[in-house]
Amino acid sequence: MDATALRQLLDDVASGLRPPDEAMARLRRLPFVDLGFARVDHHRVLRQRMGEAVYAPGKSADQCAAIVAELLAEPDGGPVVLTRAEPSQVASALAAAPGGTVTATGALAVVVWRAAPPRVARILVVTAGTADLPVAHECTATLEAHGLRPTVLADCGVAGVHRLLASVDELTDADAVVVVAGMEGALASLVAGITAAPVIAIPVSSGYGAALQGVTALLAMHASCAAGLTVVGIDNGFGAACAIVRLLP
């Protein structure tokens, strides 16, 4: 229920079109649908300009399919994104809701339905190594669901800093940059020191030595000496994409 509808509701009470009891009941109700195992939020696209995402882990294939179908049943809804889905979850969801676009992210997949129309923005997704690509792909698939066409610069880790410096122009011209880095996560500091654009860092659970499944990169990115760098959770390519959607004008 947006502000206009709220006003209308109260006008209806004032004009006698609607009894107070009914209005009181309505005020408690915001637009979601309760499937028993999930309360599907049809309001999110209005409230947040983002589509609804279904995080697959922990849900049965049937639950994934039912939630996706319910979301697509809303005629004015935005993009629908199923993330980190196993093959059986992908299959169920596509059976219930044909037409989704599947992007592999390592052993899992992202599926997108009803992608937003294309919009123009220069978004860079920079990875430190090849092993960071599955996370980068979760990010790019989510960006594409929202109509964006990011450019991926893979394998720019700081051990060969000239590989990053070769892309200085793209970095300084970008509207926003996502840095995807495991191990020590140093690439994020370096990129944030080069560009004036918003930089969102994704710590990745890859790496060895003392990478601690991404905790080291997460901590390092937060201890960064580069001002204005922000960070999302470990391996959270979806979240970084949503942050980009939030900050674009």
Scanning residues 162 to 221, which ones bind a second copy (CB under 8 A)? 162-163, 165-166, 168-169, 172, 176, 182-186, 189-190, 192-200, 206-212, 215-221
Q: How many residues bind a second copy (CB under 8 A)?
A: 116
Shortest distance, position 103 Cβ to a second copy, whole Å: 15
Q: Decide if residue 118 touches a second copy (CB under 8 A).
A: no
Integer Cα distance of 148 and 123 in angstroms: 8
Q: Decide if residue 113 touches a second copy (CB under 8 A).
A: no
Q: Decide if residue 123 touches a second copy (CB under 8 A).
A: no
Q: With contact defined as beta carbons under 8 Å apart, do 174 and 123 qualify?
A: yes
Question: Cβ closer to a second copy: 88 or 172?
Answer: 172
Structure tokens at 47: 């409230």
Residues 16-45 that bind a second copy (CB under 8 A): 16, 19-21, 23-24, 27-30, 32, 36-39, 41, 43-44
Residues 60-99 that bind a second copy (CB under 8 A): 63, 67, 84
CB half-sphere exposure, 47, CA atoms < 13 A: 9
Question: Cβ closer to a second copy: 103 or 224?
Answer: 224
Question: Cβ closer to a second copy: 109 or 245?
Answer: 245
Shortest distance, position 122 Cβ to a second copy, whole Å: 13
Q: Decide if residue 5 touches a second copy (CB under 8 A).
A: no
Per DSSP, what are the bridge partners of residue 40? 33
* SS3 (DSSP) at 113: strand
Q: With contact defined as beta carbons under 8 Å apart, do 222 and 231 qualify?
A: yes
Residue found by looking up tokens 């990011």 in the block: 150
Integer Cα distance of 40 and 151 in angstroms: 32
Q: With contact defined as beta carbons under 8 Å apart, do 119 and 148 qualify?
A: yes
Q: Decide if residue 139 touches a second copy (CB under 8 A).
A: no
Q: Decide if residue 155 touches a second copy (CB under 8 A).
A: yes
Q: With contact defined as beta carbons under 8 Å apart, do 229 and 213 qualify?
A: no
